[in-house]
Structure 1
């Protein structure tokens, strides 16, 4: 399901400092409070000094959207971000199972799955990261699907590769 005009958040793992401003900005935007656990972007640090920002990469075939039995997930035609119809989501978890990076999240106290919608084309996480001067996140046009697949992996796998590069 190709979408015209797609945006993509490019992550430079070498520039992330684990400040988690992206999580704060995201939760403020979507939850109207600082609630990093409910952020659509998560920073994992499975190894000291190896932070891994993890967020939806808008896979070319959108397995999360295609797996939803209630059609609660949709692709925003302008941005390529995934939106959730909160009235249709049953928290069945099929989207989490279908996602190669296991990015959609089900949180206690939230009545629908959480997934990045690219903030309608102006991602708050990117703005916060760049305003702080870290520049680990950048909005770019959607790259080739082979590049997307490099990012569409569980954070633990990405962290292991970074650990070898950073820590030897």
Structure 2
């Protein structure tokens, strides 16, 4: 399927290449312990320090025992990339991840508004937006989650256009779905 009018020519060209195999991180929230090792590993990888606010993955504990890992799902139509007025966001040709050119980012928030999952954010004193870039194909968050034995995060390869909206939700929506599953509908009334 060619995205045509929905995305720029550049994004459409990248995603239609024969050798383009998108990777993404599948989240299984009921396996998340809330340990936040993923946040630590991410901030160390990208910032060189433990700075959870600048982590590209965040854990939201919406209720005791309901931990929701939240990160970019690499939407197939890339609304954040399309919304950026300075072209500070681009699509990685290898992984399909959104890349941020920190020098070009003006912290306007257009990408945040465009994101269906409320994923991008601007950490205090960072100077640019942060979005998961999949660590060039080897996400550190997935590695540490697996090493800790939780396996709440898993690398998946391939096309997932038909189901991505299931995952591209804000953490409140995700948490409510999990709470319904765990506690039942009556709990949320």
Q: TM-score, normalised by structure 1?
A: 0.97
Task: Please report how far the alpha carbon of residue 147 of structure 1 lies from its aligned counterpart in structure 2 after TM superposition.
Answer: 1.5
**In the alignment, which residue of structure 1 is the partner of 2:106?**
90
Q: Distance in 1 between the 2:30 and 2:140 partners?
A: 20
Report the more deviating stretch, 77-86 or 3-12: 3-12
Q: Distance in 2 between the 1:141 and 1:76 partners?
A: 14
Among residues 106, 110, 124, which one is paired with 2:122 in the alignment?
106
Task: Please report how far the alpha carbon of residue 142 of structure 1 lies from its aligned counterpart in structure 2 after TM superposition.
Answer: 3.4
Q: Distance in 2 between the 1:21 and 1:143 partners?
A: 28
Q: TM-score, normalised by structure 2?
A: 0.87
Q: RMSD of the alignment, in Å?
A: 0.9
Which has more radius of gyration?
A: 2
**In the alignment, which residue of structure 2 is the partner of 1:115?**
131
Using CA pairs below 8 Å that are at least 6 residues apart, which structure has the higher relative contact order?
A: 1
Q: Distance in 2 between the 1:143 and 1:132 partners?
A: 28
Structure 1 unaligned segments of length 5 or more: list them. none
**In the alignment, which residue of structure 2 is the partner of 1:154?**
170
* Superposition map of 1:41-60 within 5 A: 41-60=57-76
**In the alignment, which residue of structure 2 is the partner of 1:141?**
157
Q: Which ranges of 4 or more aligned residues in structure 1 deviate by more than 6 Å?
A: none
Structure 2 unaligned segments of length 5 or more: list them. 1-11, 185-189
* 8 A Cα contact 2:68 2:175, kept in partner: yes
Q: How many residues align?
A: 168
**In the alignment, which residue of structure 1 is the partner of 2:45?**
29
